[in-house]
Structure 1
Amino acid sequence: MNILIADSFPESYQSELIKNGHQITFNPALQGDALGEALGDHEILIVRSTKVDAAAIDAGTALRLVIRAGAGTNSIDKAHAASKGVRVCNVPGANAIAVAELVIGLIIAIDRHIPDNVSDLRNKVWAKKKYASAQGLYGQKLGLLGLGAIGLAVAERAAAFGIRVHALAKPGRSQDAEKRISDLGIVQLASLDDLLATCDIVSLHLPVTPETNKMVDKTFLDKMKHGAMLINTSRGDLVDEAALIEAMESKGIRAGLDVYDNEPGAGDDRFDSAIAAHPGVCGTHHIGASTEQAQMAVAEGVLQVVRSYQQGDLQNCVN
């Protein structure tokens, strides 16, 4: 099969695809119209952050499968793909540990003012008294919205810090999931209002749906504790950025963000974002899954999807 890889992908796994008889085109710089032009007679498209819109799908006359090398698929027009007989598959869970590590890193960075410490030292400023006011994480209450692979990985790491983890009760969870929740000592609360009123830190681990789009709005933020932390390593569309700026300025909400509205795709670009530049935000560049360990695990998952497709099966199809 002809496969176009339009994002970074480990060379060893490209070689594995070639060894399995596939023809590979590797161009991680493809974006916008250039993606459609490059699709040509490729049957499979592999992407990470690259946006796959209706125009690109229409241009891929031989396209039959889009593989998202990761979990989230909001950058792909899944409905239009389905209407053209193009299936979209993902690789969920393979990057869970990497994202969970970043979540904990953001929480520590916010509590200990690490970015500002570093900035002052680089500017030859010694301000020990200013930064000696961290509250500490032991005994803090963390609310997880979303208890999939990433949420549970965060819970495991937070528990090791003595953070008390909370989540929403959800009927119909599997016995295995309920056992992990119990083993981790996760407190299940009846409502979102209870969680927001209880927790010192709220971390988002949800897909974007009509129900979750901009769910972190003024009403949501008003129900959080004064000075609480909001962590978002999922999708920028979950947060009303104007409302978050207002909450940071009016009630001291602190935010750790890895994702943003209208963020650039892969590579380097200018990003003029009021929320990313706000002093109340500890921000990173959508790097949650960007560890070598995670990329190897995701690449292995991509190969499994390709093998399944060859055998007439669809693994992790989302449309």
Structure 2
Amino acid sequence: MRILVADAFPEEYRAELAAHGHHCSYEPDTTADELATSLAGHDALVVRSTAVTAEAIEAADSLRLVIRAGSGTNTIDRDAAGRHGVYVCNVPGRNAIAVAELTMGLLLALDRNIPDNVADLRADRWDKKRYARARGIHGRKVGVVGLGRIGLTFAERAASFGAGVHAVAKPDRDERTLERAHALGTVFVDSLDELARTCDVLSFHVPATADTRMLLDRHLLAQLPPGAIVLNTSRGDIVDEDALIEAMENNGVRAGLDVYADEPSSGTGTVDSRLAKHPNVYGTHHIGASTEQAQHAVAAEVVRIVTAFTTAEPSEAPPHCVNVDAVTRATALAYPTSTGSGGRP
């Protein structure tokens, strides 16, 4: 297959794809607007943060597979892909450790005011009296919103610091999740409102869906105790940013954020975020999954998805496909001629 890799991707895994007979075009600086022309002649696309629009998919002449080298697929127009018979796959869980580590880092930074410490020292200011005030993590009540792979991995780290983990009870949790949660001594409450009232740290680990959009709104923020900490390393649009700013100014809420509603869709650019500039916010640049460990784990799974796709029967969906039904319904779906091996060329 001809594969366009439109974001950063480790060289050794590009070499592994080439060793399997694939031709990789490595263009990590491709923007969302450039994809429409860059996709010509390519059978597969691998992206991380670059948005894949309906226009790009419609302009592609041979695209059959889009892989998001991460967990969420909200930056990809899955409906357009399905209409054109293009499978969309993600790589869930492989970046859980990295995101959990960053979330924990933001919590520690907020508790100890680490960025302000550094800024003052670099400016030749010594203010031990100010920075000696910290609550510590031990004994805090940490509410985890979203007990998926990332949420649980963060909860395990918070618990190891002596924090009490809390979450919302749900009837459809799988047994493995419940086992891990109970092993941490997780306290389950009946509602998100109760979770906010109970905890002084609220950490969000949910996908971007219609149900989670603006999940952290004025109503939920009003339930938090004064001085509470909010952590969001999932998606920017789950937060009502104006409401969060009001809560920071009126109720002393502080926030550790890795994502923002209007962040750039490419790796570099400019950002004008009133929320990111707020003094109660410690922010990072959507780097939750950006550790060497995570990128190697994700890249290895991308190679596995490509291999599975090219060796499967034409009607068989690749691993972690999120739009199987849409592709199945696509009346114009056309598979390449069989190579005789039962798989895709």
Could you say whether these structures have the same fold, taking a TM-score greater than 0.5 normalized by the shorter chain as the test?
A: yes
* Bigger mean CA offset, 306-315 vs 6-15: 306-315
Distance across 2 between alignment mates of 1:262 and 1:193:
27
Q: Secondary structure of the equivalent of 1:30?
A: coil
AA aligned to 1:117 is N
Query: 1:98: Cα distance to partner?
Result: 0.3
Report if the CA contact (8 A) 2:72-2:90 is conserved.
yes
Aligned to 1:274: 274
Aligned to 1:315: 319
* Bigger mean CA offset, 90-99 vs 217-226: 217-226
Moved over 6 A (4+): none
Query: Can you list the C-alpha shifts for 1:178-225, whole angstroms capped at 9, x where unaligned?
Result: 111111111111111110000010000001111110111111101111
Query: 1:267: Cα distance to partner?
Result: 2.5
Distance across 2 between alignment mates of 1:56 and 1:126:
53
Distance across 2 between alignment mates of 1:182 and 1:32:
43
Query: 1:281: Cα distance to partner?
Result: 0.2
Aligned to 1:57: 57
Q: Secondary structure of the equivalent of 2:166?
A: strand
* Structure 2 counterparts to residues 186-201 of structure 1, below 5 A: 186-201=186-201
Aligned to 1:23: 23
Q: Secondary structure of the equivalent of 1:67?
A: strand
Aligned to 2:130: 130
AA aligned to 1:316 is H
Aligned to 1:290: 290
Q: Secondary structure of the equivalent of 2:255?
A: strand
Aligned to 2:79: 79
Aligned to 1:205: 205
Q: Secondary structure of the equivalent of 1:196?
A: helix
Query: 1:173: Cα distance to partner?
Result: 1.8
- TM-align CA RMSD: 0.8
TM-score (norm 1): 0.98
Query: 1:303: Cα distance to partner?
Result: 0.8
Indicate yes or no: 2:146 matched with 1:146: yes
Size of the aligned set, in residue pairs, is 319
Report if the CA contact (8 A) 2:32-2:265 is conserved.
no
Indicate yes or no: 2:41 matched with 1:41: yes
Distance across 2 between alignment mates of 1:85 and 1:261:
30
TM-score (norm 2): 0.91
Query: 1:33: Cα distance to partner?
Result: 2.8
Query: 1:32: Cα distance to partner?
Result: 2.7
Query: 1:6: Cα distance to partner?
Result: 0.2
AA aligned to 1:125 is R
Aligned to 1:110: 110
Larger radius of gyration: 2
Aligned to 1:217: 217
Q: Secondary structure of the equivalent of 1:275?
A: helix
Distance across 2 between alignment mates of 1:276 and 1:178:
35
Distance across 2 between alignment mates of 1:215 and 1:148:
17
Distance across 1 between alignment mates of 2:304 and 2:164:
37
Query: 1:311: Cα distance to partner?
Result: 2.3
Distance across 1 between alignment mates of 2:65 and 2:210:
25
Distance across 2 between alignment mates of 1:32 and 1:269:
13
AA aligned to 2:302 is V
Q: Secondary structure of the equivalent of 2:188?
A: strand
Distance across 1 between alignment mates of 2:108 and 2:27:
37
Query: 1:24: Cα distance to partner?
Result: 0.8
Query: Can you list the C-alpha shifts for 1:95-145, whole angstroms capped at 9, x where unaligned?
Result: 000000001100000000111111111111111111111111110000000
Report if the CA contact (8 A) 2:32-2:266 is conserved.
no
Q: Secondary structure of the equivalent of 2:319?
A: coil
Distance across 1 between alignment mates of 2:164 and 2:15:
45
Distance across 2 between alignment mates of 1:241 and 1:122:
30
**Gaps (5+ residues) in structure 2?**
324-345
